[in-house]
Amino acid sequence: MNDPADPARPSAGGFVPPAIPSGERERLETLRDLNILDTPAEEKFDRLTRLARRLFDVPIALVSLVDESRQWFKSSDGLDALETPRDISFCGHAILGSEVFVIPDATQDRRFAGNPLVLDGPEIRFYAGCPLRAENGQPLGTLCLIDRNPREFDAEDVSSLQDLAAMAEREFAAIRLATIDSLTGISNRRGFSLRADNVLKLSVRENTPTVLAYIDLDNFKPINDTFGHAEGDAVLVTFAELMQQEFRETDLFARIGGDEFVALFANTSFATAREVIARLDSAVTRYNETPGRHFAIEFSCGFIGFDPNIHDSVDALLGDGDQHMYMRKRAKNSTTTPDSAVG
């Protein structure tokens, strides 16, 4: 059990915001790659918080995910709020360690006595949070218990909470498998659609431009037919690696099926989106020039700007992008002069 270090008498009305864990950038990338933030409630998580609330006889049980500036509740039993600021969160402290983080009485702990969540609703007194970790070991958030009265938490309680947390971690692992392309390791269509939906909503809210690039590998079937499917798979993996290498941290990209890939550029002009794809094209060219290559990787790319008056869903945007890509591919095939791989 991870009891607070030196839980001194409360300072005069103050509280201590949680520190930022080492490896925060990778932690946030892991969290966002789950494509779970701001998604609707799901019974598999609600079942866990209901069970936790009954098992420990507490008024509140949460599956809390610690984002960059907030903690967001994937499941909340007994609390109406969907999120709270990270700088006042108990869970922000809990993810700093590997053990269950227990505060028997927040009013007697200098880090929390003056915390708004203690002084006002939900008037936290007792807190116990078990860190939830992704498969790569990064802490995503907690399965936590809250009571409005001080209480103790013994070793058996700790073990039971850890068992429930392990169930939540298995659910997160299953979600990741459902949103990741098993061959290339990047997002699949489902994963892309979940994250892209949030990007498009933000684009509307902030009135910023968003551009989709729809990519199709050229002459992929002959590679499979001539050199075998293992070689074809290697091409797909290589192309995904080059995308990861050349795209920006804020770019969302995925393999959405077969030899088709997409990239979504948020708050980005057409000109900048074309520059990013041009970098990818250059990287592909350099790869093709490596000794021992029996064939060249080539691709066609169509660009479409997101228009909320036309594209009422991610699928609608993908449909338009697909059409623009095939227009580009037909134009390439109809000319006899050498053409860039970038549409």
pLDDT per residue over 211-232, tens digit each? 999 999 999 999 999 999 999 9
Residue 335 pLDDT grade (very low, low, confident, very high; cuts 50, 70, 90): low
Helices 155-179 + 43-56 axis angle, to 10: 180
Regarding the domain delimited by 189-334, which CATH topology (the fold level of the hierarchy) does it fall under? Alpha-Beta Plaits (3.30.70)
Round the average pLDDT of the chain to a whole number and report it.
91
Task: State pTM to two decimals.
Answer: 0.67
Domain ranges in the chain? 24-179, 189-334
CATH architecture of the domain 24-179 equals: 2-Layer Sandwich (3.30)
176-194 confidence digits (pLDDT tens): 888 889 999 999 998 899 8
Share of the chain above pLDDT 70, in %: 94
